[in-house]
Structure 1
Amino acid sequence: MTRLASAQRATAHQRQWFADLRAEVAAGAPLALVNADAPQEVFRAMGIPYVVNQWWASIITAKRRGPDHLAALRAHGYPDDSEQYNALPLGGALDPPPDDPPWGGLPQPSIVLAETTGDAARKVFDLWGERPGTVFYALESAAANAVPPRWWELVPDRWEEAVGSDRLDLLVAELEGLVRFLETTTGRAFSETRFRAVLDLVNEQAEWNRRTRDLIAAARPCPIEVTDGIPAVMVPQWHRGTEWARDAARALHDEVAERVAAGAGVGVDERARLMWVGRGLWFDLGFYRRFQERYGAVFVWSMYLAVAADGYARYGGEPLRALAARFAAFSDQLYTPPWSVEWYVKEARLHGVDGVVHLVSDDPRGSFFTTRALEAAGFPVLELHADNVDSRTAEPGALDQQVGAWLESVVLRRRS
């Protein structure tokens, strides 16, 4: 099947953007390295260039440079088997690749921003803060005793109720401190007018993503491959708050709508619809297509489009508080039961999946409960225990054998 034009345009845009960013930083601009679950919109509003830590880790891995970045961590006395997704970029900073670094290499960041979701992750970013010329700004990871049912229905407009005032108070105070810190260290001013415009664009982008998600969920056959859907969604996500990102999300929707109207699928006889729970398997992106070609088993769901559809839109209220509402419970939505497990079950039902492949790594929390909730809802689940950026955690061919045997003995047998 022809690749999505949206995915090809997004990848081309990202390459040019990164080249421009490298030139901008070389000319003296500050650079922030930010985690995926951090409020990047503040940097967008202030015109401070930033790179998303997990995106860069995915590039390192896709370019087969994960092993040498992990080796750099090990050579400096740090664990190479913990928090690999967070730590890969640090490995590149400790020992910059001497030749042909991915995409020319990541410039030295002057600011690192991350939520401290665990002791090991905190240590990774503390090490960034020890590097000359780099400051780590840490955000707390708060929790709440009360968990709202069907949070995805509440968060767009009733986010104070969904997240809780105490959590929002904490993050708003931290964001106010972040703005003062950035103004002091970069000399760039924070404009509330510009900030409001950024938030409006993010909401528009989220609405297009929601429409696209709903199209794919209802379509038979599935109109796109998951390996096209991920870059077509996530590259614009890393540019949230720009007109380009909003327009890219709309273009993806329109392209998917055209395929659905034409009855176009991914080019195989669709025998099973699968859900991929977990991060992208960056060291082996051909993994998904192999089961499509061998078994007609199509991955119709990943968290990337789904959370882009349900996790970002926030309307009303004070702008900084609305941004806090987007991120105060972001990790909960993906990893903390019952937030996460109710959402995964809802999405499995919405997409009519026949089975779930669940990538279980060491650091994401709540995997046990995710599997049990999906099984209790009637969906067969196969757990794959591997790290998404560390190919050493999966024997060559072992993942294929596990999935193939499961498809033959469970999923396709149930369909027959």
Structure 2
Amino acid sequence: PAPTAASPRPAPRPQDGRRSRKSLTSIASFGAYQRDWFKSVRETVAAGAPLAVVNANSPQEILRAMDVPFVVNQWWASIVAAKQQSPRYFQLLRDHGYPSDAEAYSAQGIAAMFDADAEQAPWGGLPRPSFVQAPIGTDATPRIFDHWARETGAKPFLFERSIESRIDFPVDWWDRLHDDWDSAIEPERLDLMTAELREVIARIEATTDRRFDPDRFAHIMDLVNEQEDYYRRTRDLIAGAHPAPVSISDTMPATMVPQWHRGTEWARDAARDFYHEVKARHEAGEAACANEKLRLMWVGRGMWSDMGFTQRWEESHGAVFVWSMYLALAADGYIRRTAPGQDPLRALAARFVTMGDELRMPTWAGAWHVREAQSHAVDGAVALSDADPFVLRALRRAGVPVLSLDLDNYNREASDGDVVDRQIVAFLEGPVSDYAARRG
């Protein structure tokens, strides 16, 4: 365990401890855009349109092609956290007989259905869905979505979760899946997911006036590939830039907001503008931290309830978080190009049948995180409680110092912020500084 003794140089804590400092003009309008979008969703649903609420690893592109408005479950949870409504939503779950400690990050949509306080409801509240969808990724997932459907009358759809069965599969998937996905992924997995995509389309067409347009869908897939390619170029630029022109306080929102809108021209252009601004900052010699001494990985979900958390160590220790899964997964996990004769729907299946393998399958995830740590020249990794233990083991075996915090990105009711701060300071001043000195 990391020592918890008081440090002589504690990192200054912002007064509210919640807001991050953002430096990019390309993302300055994202907040307003997202608010306007969500307002339009609420108005469209109030006028009678069907709403889908889906998990982040659910194939949203078919909904966009069918003009079905949708909200991503985990995005909604991040808004609840950012608005400091998490404790109230936990209590709403408890008041209605639901646990507040079973995948709370994914259960906030249920809590939203019990939120009758119009003044406190984040952004006016989450509308009642017509469809809820998710891949079966955990034991709790089917129960969450089953009860969500019961509470709202929504039609649930749970995608099967298949796994890679070949022992000798090459671990350098990040260079294979963009163009060779049809041969790299087992055909049985693609067959199953493609069949389920067609079933979802049929169900929506049978219960609404929405229709699937194959040409529009193919165009959406092209836009997504363009968007993710800009993220790949940005990720690679940051990896080789010393000092880093931006930190994850910039790259997380710059990636995630457009990701919820992927398949649109706005999202493609947002990713393009983000890349060009980061490139311009690097060429002008600008840095996220002018006194960069230490480079860090953030392993796990974003700290949406405390967006300034990762920036507190820049001024005190010159420690910059240069890597998170958000930009890196966008760079390596989403691109699925189609050649003439290939089915774009099968390419979408290839995008989502592996979703999560990049982060948690022992062979894939460990090798990828080590590759990313090496390419970004990080001096240490800070991990939250949701981080995969095999990933942390792979990083440690590669020599990267790892601090594993008993800290949830969403439910912080039981955490002691001062203890966490002391652990991070001791980690930076001990293992991370020693590793950086050895690396030269």
TM-score range for the pair, normalised by the shorter chain length: over 0.9
SS of the residue corresponding to residue 220 of structure 1 reads coil
The residue that corresponds to 1:377 in the other structure is 398
1:150 aligns with 2:169: no
The residue that corresponds to 1:218 in the other structure is 240
Q: CA deviation at 1:2?
A: 6.2
Q: 1:171 aligns with which of 175, 188, 193?
A: 193
Amino acid at match of 2:241: A
Amino acid at match of 2:392: T
1:306 aligns with 2:328: yes
8 Å contact kept, 2:22–2:250: no
Deviations 1:276-329 (A, max 9, x none): 010001121111010112111000000000000001111122111000000001
8 Å contact kept, 2:115–2:121: no
Deviations 1:134-164 (A, max 9, x none): 1111111111212432011111111123321
Q: 1:78 aligns with which of 90, 98, 101?
A: 98
The residue that corresponds to 2:218 in the other structure is 196
Change (3 A) 1:376 1:226: same
The separation in 1 between residues aligned to 2:427 and 2:157, in whole angstroms, is: 45
Q: 2:291 aligns with which of 269, 279, 300?
A: 269
Deviations 1:232-288 (A, max 9, x none): 111111001000000000000000000010011014400100000100011211110
SS of the residue corresponding to residue 130 of structure 1 reads helix
Amino acid at match of 1:82: A
The residue that corresponds to 2:362 in the other structure is 337
The separation in 2 between residues aligned to 1:2 and 1:314, in whole angstroms, is: 31
8 Å contact kept, 2:73–2:106: yes
Deviations 1:77-129 (A, max 9, x none): 22111101101221121344443211111111111110111221211111111
SS of the residue corresponding to residue 224 of structure 1 reads coil
The worse-fitting range, judged by mean Cα deviation, of 79-88 and 196-205 is 79-88
Deviations 1:178-209 (A, max 9, x none): 00011112211101000100000001001111
Amino acid at match of 2:400: F
8 Å contact kept, 1:128–1:135: no
The separation in 2 between residues aligned to 1:91 and 1:219, in whole angstroms, is: 43
The separation in 1 between residues aligned to 2:314 and 2:290, in whole angstroms, is: 7
Q: Higher relative CO (CA 8 A, sep ≥ 6), structure 1 or 2?
A: 2
Q: 1:283 aligns with which of 296, 305, 311?
A: 305
8 Å contact kept, 2:249–2:307: yes
Amino acid at match of 1:206: E
The separation in 1 between residues aligned to 2:237 and 2:125, in whole angstroms, is: 37
Q: 1:61 aligns with which of 57, 81, 102?
A: 81
8 Å contact kept, 1:69–1:89: no
8 Å contact kept, 2:244–2:289: no
The separation in 2 between residues aligned to 1:196 and 1:173, in whole angstroms, is: 17
Superposition misfits of 4+ residues, deviation over 2 angstroms? 94-100, 160-163, 413-416
The separation in 2 between residues aligned to 1:26 and 1:38, in whole angstroms, is: 24
Q: 2:433 aligns with which of 392, 405, 412?
A: 412
8 Å contact kept, 2:401–2:435: no
Q: 2:56 aligns with which of 36, 42, 49?
A: 36
Amino acid at match of 1:248: A
Q: What TM-score do you get using the length of structure 2 for normalisation? A: 0.91
Q: CA deviation at 1:395?
A: 1.3
SS of the residue corresponding to residue 357 of structure 1 reads strand
The separation in 1 between residues aligned to 2:397 and 2:22, in whole angstroms, is: 37
The residue that corresponds to 1:396 in the other structure is 417
The separation in 2 between residues aligned to 1:378 and 1:315, in whole angstroms, is: 35
Change (3 A) 1:5 1:309: same
1:237 aligns with 2:259: yes
SS of the residue corresponding to residue 289 of structure 1 reads helix
Q: CA deviation at 1:409?
A: 1.3
8 Å contact kept, 1:268–1:292: no
The separation in 2 between residues aligned to 1:370 and 1:398, in whole angstroms, is: 24
8 Å contact kept, 2:104–2:410: yes
The separation in 1 between residues aligned to 2:186 and 2:319, in whole angstroms, is: 41
Amino acid at match of 2:144: V
Amino acid at match of 1:382: L
1:321 aligns with 2:318: no
Structure 1 residue ranges without an equivalent (≥5): none
The residue that corresponds to 1:49 in the other structure is 69
The residue that corresponds to 2:35 in the other structure is 15
Change (3 A) 1:135 1:411: same
Change (3 A) 1:2 1:392: closer
Amino acid at match of 2:125: G
Structure 2 residue ranges without an equivalent (≥5): 1-20
SS of the residue corresponding to residue 360 of structure 1 reads coil
The residue that corresponds to 2:11 in the other structure is none
The separation in 1 between residues aligned to 2:372 and 2:136, in whole angstroms, is: 28
